[in-house]
Amino acid sequence: MNVKYFNIAIIITLSMPALLKGQPYIVDNIVGVVGKNQILYSDVEDQYLQMMAQGVKPMPSKCQIFEEILAQKLLVNQASIDSLVLEEGQVEMELNDRINYFVQQIGSEQQLVEHFGKSVIEIKEDMRDLVRDQMLMQMMRREITSGLSVTPAEVRNYFNHMNPDSIPFIDSEVEINQIWIYPASSEQSKFEVRERLLGIRERIVGGDNFSSLAVLYSEGSTATRGGDMGWVAKADLDPAYAKAAFALKAGQVSKIVETPSGFYLIQLIERIDERIHVREILMRPKITFEAKLASQNKLDSIVNLVKSDSMTFEQAAVRFSQDEDTRANGGLMVNPYSGNTRFGLEQLNTKEHYIIRNLNVNDISEIYESVDAKGNLAYKVVRLKSKTEPHRANLKQDYELLKQITTQQKQNEIVDEWLADKIKSTYIRISEPYSDCDFRLKGWK
């Protein structure tokens, strides 16, 4: 794969230069200027150290990294000239997404805080300027490449002319069907949760601090942040939650809101159009042993129907599964990273990785306990629909991946042409130790 723009994808997912630990102290100075944007010596060094730590291969030189930063700064500079609008709420949402990504990678929010020796708020502030620039850069790239399309003939042509050594190697991938059953909460347990939340709401209305009570009582992932959800889009919220939250004025606290995830108290901090910044306190009704056993028994009966050929697994998922995202599609899971239905085994969580790797195609797993994306307890079974062997990418099995690569290459060519033109009319200064670099685009100097 062409190394051009190698760092764009890496920075977007993993860039935390201000957070690097155990690295030698770098005396900073300005090594480049693009328009009104400065490039520091540490910007290049931090990126180089990160790529070393990530095991990036082939490892780019510092001159290559510096040139990519020049290109990014030129895109950001033009975004400012073109008055591209980036709301602070959008930056906050992106920061929240990245924090969530880091939490998933490291294990928990507490482990993230301990690892970096900083609070989540401090980590976000360290990342804020960098994230804002990256988002502006991406907006500018989309402006430059808008309207671009790739035909099947172009994909075939690009693939046929790829160096055999640069054709991506695809590890084993799987397709998975699933059936979820959620244990029911008793009316008594729901009543108890409502009573507890009513008492907490009375304390808040009486003057107690919402954040402090969230730390003490909330059962959600935001509890350690005082219930702070950050900025969220209306479309990403449960309808009942969104209706209650968007009806609030700044500082107001909602009545108790019931959703599939549990019962909430919501406090509005700020609203901008279809995005809101809120705090929340979440409580879930307790699940009894009897309810858990009933769910397992129901799921066991469903599996027996499939194994006795009374219906296919897909038909059973459509009829019985309680997972709204996959039920209509016969329980077929969609990979959130690629948008298709194939998963690399390393993309599955630890439990499902262990379960899937021991199945043959069409095998159905044992019933196991799981937790959905909203933190709700459920019981599930999975069926291994298909499994590919490790292989070099080819047009038959991996067309969508090759289309993405072809599109990226075509975008890079268009952006290169744009950069070569903009370099001529933009103030650019390059200092030691990069003034003698042999850049890919000759116009920088």
Q: Residue 287 pLDDT more than 50? A: yes
**Mean pLDDT across 270-287:** 91
Between 88-102, 127-141, 278-292, the lowest mean confidence (pLDDT) is in 88-102
Distance CA 235, CA 173 (A): 31
Residues in Cβ contact with 260 at an 8 Å cutoff, skipping those fewer than 6 apart? 238, 374, 376
| CATH match for 187-283 among 3.30.56.10, 3.10.50.40, 3.40.50.300, 3.30.1370.60 | 3.10.50.40
Compute and round to an integer the Cα radius of gyration of the chain.
26
| Domain 6-159+395-444 belongs in CATH node 1.10.4030.10 | yes
| Domain 170-184+288-391 belongs in CATH node 3.10.50.40 | yes
- Domain edges within the chain: 6-159+395-444, 170-184+288-391, 187-283
- Regarding pTM above 0.75, the answer is no
Residue 219 has which token pair? 């059962």
Q: Residue 260 pLDDT more than 60? A: yes
Tokens 């298909």 appear where? Answer: 386
Distance CA 435, CA 202 (A): 65
Phi first, then psi, for residue 438 (nearest 5°) are -95, 90
Half-sphere exposure for 133 (CA within 13 Å, toward CB): 21
Q: pLDDT tens across 382-399, in order?
A: 999 999 989 999 999 889
Q: What is the mean pLDDT of the chain?
A: 88
DSSP assignment string, 320-342? H---TTTGGGTTB---TTTSSS-
pLDDT, position 27: 59
Distance CA 434, CA 428 (A): 13
Q: pLDDT tens across 190-240, in order?
A: 999 999 999 999 999 999 999 999 999 999 888 888 999 888 888 889 999
**What is the CA angle 103-106-112, rounded to 5?**
65
Between 97-111, 148-162, 181-195, 317-331, the lowest mean confidence (pLDDT) is in 97-111
**Prior bond to 58 cis, omega within 30?**
yes
Q: Using alpha carbons, select from 67, 116, 4, 102 the residue that is nearest to residue 413.
A: 4
Distance CA 154, CA 173 (A): 26
pLDDT, position 8: 38
Domains 6-159+395-444 and 170-184+288-391 share a fold: no
Residue 427 has which token pair? 């103030």
Please state the separation of Cα 206 from the chain's center in Å: 38
